[in-house]
Amino acid sequence: MAKNKTAETAVSVAGYVKAIEEKEKREDSLKIIELMRSASGFEPKMWGPSIIGFGSYHYKHDSGREGDMPMISFSPRKAAIVFYLALNSDNREALLPKLGKHKTEKGCVYVKKLEDISEPVLKEMIKVSVKNRKQK
């Protein structure tokens, strides 16, 4: 069975963020790290080459595929900041309209910059996501 590409690494989160070329994205990443740390209670760790994750959980699909993933995470990509959160349909329906300027695809939420969204709503989304992961 193929190994999961997104695995926890020993790469420095601070070093990764410091290397982000775009100043605004670098500053947004630092703010998001603090927001996720305070809302989740977990310290940031690198997962794969570009995902900053907090906490972890073990999953197992019906197919037999299993592995570990961060409970919540984000990736400061060139085109957008991508949030990987565990929102169920009720959570998405209640919180996403209040978030601000964003796009969604599958389970991901994309934002161009932090100032485009409501930080209190993002913080609530983070807390709900951690709670949802812990319940599974």
**pTM score:** 0.92
User: What's the CA dihedral at 118, 134, 52, 50 to 10 degrees?
Assistant: -110
pLDDT digits (tens, 9 = 90+) for 28-76: 999 999 999 999 999 999 999 999 999 998 888 888 888 889 999 999 9
Nearest C-alpha neighbor of 70 from the set 28, 9, 15: 9
CATH topology for the 13-135 domain: Aspartate Aminotransferase, domain 1 (3.90.1150)
Per-residue pLDDT at 2: 54
Residue 114 to residue 32: CA distance in whole angstroms = 8
Sequence-ordered alpha helix ranges (H) in 10-49: 13-18, 23-40
Query: Residue 108, Cβ neighbours under 10 Å: how many?
Result: 15
Query: Residue 8, Cβ neighbours under 10 Å: how many?
Result: 15
Per-residue pLDDT at 114: 97
Per-residue pLDDT at 3: 62
| 86 contacts 127 by C-beta, under 8 angstroms | no
Q: Where are the domains of the chain?
A: 13-135
Nearest C-alpha neighbor of 47 from the set 4, 85, 108, 86: 4
pLDDT digits (tens, 9 = 90+) for 74-114: 999 999 999 999 999 899 999 999 999 999 998 899 999 99
Per-residue pLDDT at 30: 98
